[in-house]
Amino acid sequence: MSDYKAEFVEFAIASNVLCFGEFKTKAGRMSPYFFNAGLFNDGDKLKRLGEFYAKAIVDSGIAFDVLFGPAYKGIPLAASIAIALAGMGRNVPYAYNRKEAKDHGEGGTVVGAALTGRVLIVDDVISAGTSVRESVGLIREAGAEPAGVVIALDRMERGTGEKSAVQEVREQYGIPVVAVVTLDNLVEYLERDEKRQQALRAVAAYREKYGV
């Protein structure tokens, strides 16, 4: 596991974004951990979050021309990642969408840079894949091509079928999906932490039951 991945897990735990206990998921499953990216909610956390995403993007080697953050959580993500990449010497444009089209001023649903060339979608997680589907539609409608998706955490668990939401996105759109960290990384981190062996056992049991 890369150093920045372990650092991201520590950062998420310290920010109370990643918690251990018993949590009910949208699918009705009782999960031993919960990831709430909405709690990256101040300037310092957002700055660091953008830097972690930027490292994962560079690490992935995905070629892209524009960042796109789907409303709403993807908006601050796209901005913070663009700032982080600029700090690393790469200045890239970013855009985001409105939930409702604007009928005055510049109009339309896309704000920021024009969607051209290869567009990299950035979001917090992929649950049902709805946000990705809408984003791909907007990108293709603009005459551009989706380059891939980058998320904070890949839970690596089955959706309604035998595949995970991430696997379904990869197959349906033929694009890479990169995560800052995956469930495998989380398990590896817990294995190293003697104080979190109970959480490790619970996560391992959950993965055995619902993992892909």
Express each pLDDT in 152-178 by its tens digit. Answer: 999 999 987 899 999 999 999 999 999
**Minimum mean pLDDT range among 49-58, 76-85, 92-101, 149-158:** 92-101
Q: Residue 51 above 80 pLDDT?
A: yes
Exposed, middle or buried: residue 13 (CB in 10 Å: 0-12, 13-18, 19+)? middle
Enter the DSSP assignment of 157.
Answer: B
Of 150, 124, 151, give the one whose Cα is nearest residue 38: 124
pTM beyond 0.75: the answer is yes
How many independent structural domains does the chain possess? 1
Cα(27)–Cα(29) distance, rounded to whole angstroms? 6
Q: Residue 61 above 70 pLDDT?
A: yes
**Minimum mean pLDDT range among 20-24, 27-31, 103-107, 182-186:** 103-107
Residue for token pair 């917090």? 124
Cα torsion 58, 64, 112, 73: sign: negative
Residues marked as catalytic: 102, 104
Q: What is the pLDDT of residues 89-145, one digit of tens each?
A: 999 999 999 877 655 545 578 999 999 999 999 999 998 778 899 999 999 999 999
Query: Which residues have C-beta within 8 Å of that of residue 41, sequence separation ≥ 6?
Result: none
What share of the chain in percent tops pLDDT 70?
Answer: 97
Q: How many other CB atoms sit within 10 Å of the CB of residue 167?
A: 18
Instruction: Give 97-132 as a DSSP string.
Output: EEEEEE-STT-EEEEES---SEEEEE-S--SSSHHH
Structural domain of 152: 3-210
- What pLDDT is recorded for position 191? 97
- What pLDDT is recorded for position 154? 96
Query: Looking at the DSSP assignment, which residues form a beta bridge with residue 110?
Result: 97
- What pLDDT is recorded for position 27? 80
- What pLDDT is recorded for position 36? 94
Average predicted confidence (pLDDT) for the chain: 93
Instruction: Report the CATH number at residue 27.
Output: 3.40.50.2020
